[in-house]
Amino acid sequence: MRRLHWVPLAVLVAACSGKHSGSSASPDAGGDDAGDDGEAGTVSLTYAPQGCAYTYTPPATLGFTGLALDDTGPVDPTNGAPQRVRLGLGGGTTKGQAGYADPTTTAAFTWETTESDHAAKVQLGTAPTALSVVHTGYVWSEATSGGNTMTNMHEVHVCGLTPGTTYFYEVGGGPSGAEVWSATQSFTTVPATGTVTVGVFGDARDSSTTWQAVGIRMRNAAVDMQLVGGDIVDVGSLESLYVTWLGAIWHDPTDPTKFVTLGQQMMVPIGGNHENDASDFFSNFAMPGDGPYAETYGSFDVGNTHFLMIDDQQIAESLEGGGTANAEATAQLAWVAQDLAAANADRTAHPFIVVVGHRCMFSSSTHSTDADVLAARGVLVPLYDKYSVDLVVNGHDHDYERSKPLMAGSPPSGAPVVGTGTTYVVSAGAGADAYPTGTPQAFTQTSVAYGTGTSYIGAYSILTLQGNTLALTAYGLKASSTTVADDDVIDTFTLTH
C-alpha cells in the first residue's frame, strides 16, 4: 500500500523497526522528518540532496531493494543508458517550513536503466555546452510483474535554481572518463512573478496516443508545469504500461532527436484508483513528501495560487459504506486541514486555492453516485468549504464538467447547496475511454462529452494565473489537429479576488 519517495540525507543506516503500517494519524512534518522506514534485517537509505533543506527516506512498505547513493561504479554504455527521463518536484509538505516544495527553485530528475548500477548524477547549466553544475542522487530497484522482472530507478533532486530560467541537463554518471549520459534536454523553472500557465488533466489509461496528443498540446502551449489528476495507466502495478505511456511523451514521434514534454516540463501527478497505491506509481514519479504516506499528498505555491494535491484512494475506500477512516486516510485529512488553514491565512500573497485530486466530488456521469465518491465528498467538501477553496479539479468520470459555485449540503455526502462557494471541474479525457455526460444536475453549469458521436477524442484544461485572476480554459481535443489553437474551446471562466 505504500510507495517510494525522495528527499535528502547522504547516509545509509540499518533499520530495526517494523514496517510503517499506518499507526500514526498525524500529518508529516514536511522535509524535517527523516524517519526510520526499514524493518528488521533490512537497510534503509535517507537521501539528502545537496543544497536542499529537506530529506527523503523511502518507506520500507514500498519493497524497494538495492537502495544506494551515487558512486563511480561501472556503467554499461548500452544497459546503463538513461531511459524516459522525467522532471518532477521534491520537498516538504508543511507550508512555511524550510524545505517546503518550491517549483520555482527545485526540480527532481527520475529515470530508469536496463541494468542495476549506482549512477545517479545530473549535470546542468544555462547553456548546452556548459553543464558545469553537478548534483548526486540515489538508486533503487523494484520487482514488477509478480517479481519476474526488475525496474532499476535513479533520482536526483536539485535545489537553488533561479525562477523562470531555462536549464540544459544530462543525467547518468559512472566512473571518471567512462561516464554514461543521457541526451541533452532542457526545461524552464516556473516563474516566480508574472503570468503562469498550468496544464491540468487526467485519466489517460486506455490510449497512449491520445495521451501523447495531450502532451503535444502542452508543448505547443508552453505551459510552465503540468498537474495530473490520476489514472495515468490502467493497472498501476504493471511497469510495462508506464514504459509505454511515458515513452509516448518522451521522444517526439516525428523526430526521435527531439522531445515532447517528458523531462522538458515539470509534471506533478497524484494517484487515482487505477494506480491503487501501487509502488510502481510512486517509483515512477517525484512528488513532495516524506514519511509513511509520502507522495499521497503535497502542496506548493505557484504565481497567485496555492495548489494542494491529494490521493483520495484510502479516504474513499476506508469510508465507503459508512466505514471508519484508516490511519492513512486520517493522516491525509489532518494534513489537508492543516495545509488549507495555512493557505487561507496567506491570501495576500496567494489569493487563490486550487485542489487537484482524482475522484470527482460532483459530476453527472458514470461515477456521480458511487458510494466511494460520496464518502470522499462527505469529508473533503466540508474542508474545502471551511477554508474557502476556490477551485477543485478532478477526473474519474471521463468527460468535461463544471459546476456552479457549491457548498456542502446536509448531509455533506448528499446534494450540495448551489449559489456560493467552490467551483468543481472534471477535466478527464487524456486517453481514457469516454463516458456519457449523463443528465445535468441542479449544480451543473456545463458538461461536454468526447468520444463516439462527438468532435473530440479527449479533453484537457489550461489554467492561467495572472494578477488577481485565475482563468481556466478547457479544450476539446481533435484527432485532426496538433496545436491548442486548432482545438475547440469547450469552456472558459475566470475567478477574481
Cα(490)–Cα(497) distance, integer angstroms? 24
The region that residue 35 occupies, defined by phi over 0 for left and psi between -120 and 50 for alpha, beta otherwise, is: left
- Torsions phi, psi of 139, nearest 5? -135, 160
- Spell out the long-range contacts of 256-263 with Cβ–Cβ below 8 A and sequence spacing 24 or more: 257/183, 259/185, 260/212, 260/215, 260/216, 260/219, 261/215, 261/218, 261/219, 261/226, 262/84, 262/85, 262/86, 262/87, 262/215, 263/84, 263/85, 263/86, 263/87, 263/109, 263/185, 263/187
Q: Which residues contact 383 (CB under 8 A, 6 or more apart)?
A: 333, 336, 337, 340, 389
Q: Is 371 exposed, middle or buried (0-12, 13-18, 19+ CB in 10 A)?
A: middle
Beta pairing class for 444-448 and 138-144: unpaired
CB atoms within 10 A of CB 25: 15
pLDDT, mean of each 10-residue run, the chain (497 residues): 35 29 32 35 82 94 93 97 98 98 98 97 97 97 72 97 98 97 98 97 97 98 98 95 97 95 98 95 96 96 98 97 96 98 98 98 96 98 98 97 98 97 98 96 97 96 98 97 95 98
Summary count for the chain: helices (H), strands (E): 6, 29
- DSSP 8-state assignment for residue 487: S
Q: What is the pLDDT of residue 39?
A: 37
Q: What is the pLDDT of residue 43?
A: 65
Q: Which residues contact 485 (CB under 8 A, 6 or more apart)?
A: none
Beta pairing class for 83-88 and 107-113: antiparallel
Q: What is the pLDDT of residue 490?
A: 98
Assess contact for 142 and 153: CB atoms under 8 A. Answer: yes
- Give Cα separations from 151 to 67, 71, 147, 243, 254 (angstroms): 13, 19, 10, 10, 28
- Torsions phi, psi of 477, nearest 5? -80, 120
Q: How far apart are the first and last CA of the chain?
A: 40
CB atoms within 10 A of CB 166: 11
Q: What is the pLDDT of residue 59?
A: 85
Assess contact for 277 and 230: CB atoms under 8 A. Answer: no
Residue 212 carries which side chain, given as an amino acid letter?
Q
Which domains are seen in the chain, by residue range?
Answer: 11-496 (3.60.21.10)
Cα angle vertex 87, ends 116, 301, to 5°?
140
Q: Is the dihedral of CA 342, 347, 348, 354 positive or negative?
A: positive
The region that residue 31 occupies, defined by phi over 0 for left and psi between -120 and 50 for alpha, beta otherwise, is: alpha
- Specify the pTM: 0.91
Cα(434)–Cα(272) distance, integer angstroms? 17
CB atoms within 10 A of CB 474: 26
Give the cell for residue 26: 498525524
Q: Which residues contact 397 (CB under 8 A, 6 or more apart)?
A: 360, 363, 365, 366, 367, 368, 426, 428, 435
Q: What is the pLDDT of residue 458?
A: 98
User: Angle of helix 371-386 relative to helix 327-344, nearest 10 degrees?
Assistant: 30
Q: What is the pLDDT of residue 181?
A: 98
Q: What is the pLDDT of residue 60?
A: 85
Q: Which of 218, 246, 255 is nearest to 153 (CA)?
A: 246
